[in-house]
Structure 1
Amino acid sequence: MNLVSRSERLTGRIFLIALALVTLLPFVSMLSAALQPRGTVPTGLTWPADPQWGNFVDAFTAANMGALLRSSLIIVAGVVPIAVVIATMAGFGLGHLGVPGGRFAFALLLLGLTLPFEAVVTPLYYQMRDLGLLNTRWAIILPLIGLYMPFAVYWMRAHFITVPRELSEAARVDGSSTWQLFWRVQVPLARPAIASLTILLFLWTWNQFLLAIVLVDDATKRTMAGALGAFQGQWGTDLVLLCAGSLLILTPTLIVFLIFQRQFIKALIQGSLKG
């Protein structure tokens, strides 16, 4: 029996198309502005008669994108794997093992979810200063790992709490230790949740702006999004070059999401079905 009428399907499609157009409009506007001749002031959404694709090359060189790309990759490599491993182990302990004090620890994590980054920037600045880590990539990596933990552990706990305990009991009967149970049984089952968490942490780390500009003065040691502040200050009057640089900074995150969107959506669907 068809529970959705033809008019409802048509309305839904029209709504999705309109939503997609509204979402893409700012990017199309930035692209059209980035292709205008240098020295002009882009007005409205007008496609240039002679697109200046060389503006992207100029922006890449002016912003030293090669160094920024390397710095962002180093920061992502320092944050994401460590955060995912710790969150997976903590989520397994809180969601499946039922460790003593787990409810209290989980309540603290939920409290951490309500804490915005802006509220801890000042304490982090003085802490990084006392540790001698200001103006280093560690000043971004270490705080981000800690700040991501509440959400990351919550995400992984939500998966492990739905795994049937019969699987663990069968593994125990076969002589598996807790460590073997975790790596050989639970982690393979958690791959969709781990993959989606990895994508989220990558996007958040790559686009991290606030901590990068507060804790690191050297633009070449920031994330690409953080370096956008220095780029804007230097080329703020050249709107064409600024739009081209902004698109270059956004491109890696869009590519990553488009490549791994299936895994991300799969994990969200599995989580909703299990919940």
Structure 2
Amino acid sequence: MHALSGLSQISPRYEAVLSDVWGVVHNGVAAHPTAVAALAAYRAAGGKVVLITNAPRPSSAIVPFLDQLGVSRDAYDAIVSSGDATRAMLAEYRGKVVHHVGPPSDDDALYEGLDLVRGSVEAAEAVVVTDLDSDDDTPDMYSERVELWLARNLPMIVANPDRVVEHGDRLIYCGGSLGDLYEARGGMVRMAGKPYRPIYQEALRLVEQAAGGPVARERILAIGDSVRTDAIGAAGFGIDLLFITGSIHAAEVDAFGEPDSNAIRRLVEPSGVTLAGFMPRLAW
């Protein structure tokens, strides 16, 4: 495990990349140009790229958002999202009421065609968390609501397992932080997306579709910025990880100063993943 100056140093070892999106390809406000260029260069050299994201929306709804941020479509072959995996869970509640937590309209596409009703806690059979209601919220602000959900013994489906993401120059809480709180209080939580296996299985299907045939796990590289989702997910799926240090873990490892390889190793080691290397921002 060592510092890399670019993906090109290790790219010949891999036929395909499963790249995280938020924190690697963009920061929620704008694309990271070097990351977009790196993925496009990798594809131009014959590699396949599937973007694998914990965004709580179907992948079809993510493409316009990436266009808006300046992420070229030359940088990827396909996208799989936590929203795709969540829809499979939500299908079990067809014809029933669920209680939505998150921005009221941002995630409408998640429910399209599923014959669900978004309603009150009192009428709901499950709580569906896409994110916290606003970027300024913290999980502790939901304590009273959590008690009500617990009193009704409602299962929680978390469409975005991320705890935090970078948004511009700050970190904001995500749905996974609320899922953690609910589980800690004794609630039943189901999470879609990374690090759970179904999203990786779908990503592999898309890789092999793009490649036109089977691709061995040892020839697939995950790229991500989170130990909890990307490292643990890659380890569980048996693929290597290129760790991007300059996002949510930047302060811990002094990503843009004098990063300590041993500190990075200690941070990632508990996940069990095989590290192919690290860099602060993805570049070619």
TM-score normalized by the length of structure 1: 0.27
- Return the index of the structure with the highest Cα Rg: 1
* Structure with greater strand percent: 2
TM-score normalized by the length of structure 2: 0.26
* Structure with greater helix percent: 1
